[in-house]
Amino acid sequence: MKKNVVCVGAHPDDEMPCAGTLAKMAKQGHNVYICCVTNGDKGYFDLSVSAEELAARRLEELKAAAKVIGAKDFVDLGYLDGEVLLTPSLRADITKNIRKWKASVVFTHDPWRTTEASLDHINVGLMTCHVGVYSGFPHFHSEQLKDGIEPQRVEEFYLFGSSEPNFYSDITETIDQKINSRLCHESQITQALTPLDEKARQMLEQRLRRTAAICGKHIGVEYAEEFKAFSGGSGHFDWFPQGVISK
Ligand SMILES: [Zn+2]
């Protein structure tokens, strides 16, 4: 059955930990969408590049990466980098996109990662989990229920960057897409708004293959990604059986 899959990330390259799985699901015919919360306007070490210039560049990079992944659509909510708080407007914005895209599968940051230091990652992950278990309740942001927007229950959650992964996804067939989509985020690789040279490209590719190969060992495949997975209950998580993402 065709699923609607939404990745909610804090920054314009945060879809990367699940890019291989998103690409695989798109290949299988599922509808894949990317929701980026911030414009990434502070992800740079050189003040000669303005925040506005960087945000515009990162939006283009996200657009290119989404295309490589095979996403049907993406949105950047335009929050400022480093300033994501647990506000009613963030809750409304994420809820609206989960409902608009009728998401039954959600990928986001693991907000309970023991070594997570980014408040953006923590708050986006936490709010997305909160929204995912409440977006099916019609009284939850009932003002949105018009123009075809309906309550939407999320059934599967996959949290990336987790310190306690319990789920592995075989991405052997989409590792190239994962690498190529990562290469779209040039401003985040060498901190230069110029095309990558061959050496930087090779180093990145080796690093991504090495990490994915370590994950792959857990399920006996060449390359994999890892997640903390939960089933979505009404207002809470349920436990997910340990396993691999197949369909
Ligand atoms: Zn990030």
Helix axes 175-183, 198-217, angle to 10 degrees: 140
pLDDT the model gives residue 244: 64
Residue 122 alpha carbon to ligand 1 centre in Å? 10
Q: Are 134 and 92 in contact (CB under 8 A)?
A: no
Q: Which backbone phi and psi does 164 adopt, to 5 degrees?
A: -135, 65
Query: What local confidence, expressed as pLDDT, does residue 247 receive?
Result: 42
pLDDT mean by block of 10 residues, the chain; 247 residues: 97 98 98 98 88 95 98 98 97 98 98 96 98 96 97 96 94 98 90 79 95 96 96 82 60
Number of structural domains in the chain: 1
Query: Given the structure tokens 């303005």, which residue do they identify?
Result: 50
22 Cα–ligand 1 center, Å: 17
Question: Is residue 105 classed as helix, strand or coil in its secondary structure?
Answer: strand
- Cα-to-centroid distance, 14 and ligand 1 (Å): 5
Strand partners, 34: 7, 74
Ligand 1 centre from 119 Cα, in Å? 10
For residue range 96-119, list pLDDT tens digits in order. Answer: 999 999 999 999 999 999 999 999
Place of tokens 């997570």: 116
Return d(Cα 114, Cα 161) in angstroms, integer.
Answer: 10
Q: How far is the CA of 120 from the centre of ligand 1 (A)?
A: 7
Output the CA 147–ligand 1 centroid distance in Å. 32
Instruction: For residue 35, report the distance from its CA to the centre of ligand 1, in Å.
Output: 13
Distance 204 CA to ligand 1 centre (A): 17
User: What is the pTM for the complete model shown?
Assistant: 0.95
From the CA of 16, how far away is ligand 1's center (Å)? 9
For residue 160, list its beta bridge partners.
109
- What range defines the domain where residue 153 resides? 4-245
Of 32, 3, 5, 28, the residue nearest 181 (C-alpha): 32
| Separation of CA 31 and ligand 1 centre (Å) | 23
CATH number at residue 18: 3.40.50.10320
Q: Please tell me what DSSP assigns to residue 142.
A: G
Distance in angstroms (rounded) separating the CA atoms of residues 153 and 142: 14
From the CA of 148, how far away is ligand 1's center (Å)?
A: 32
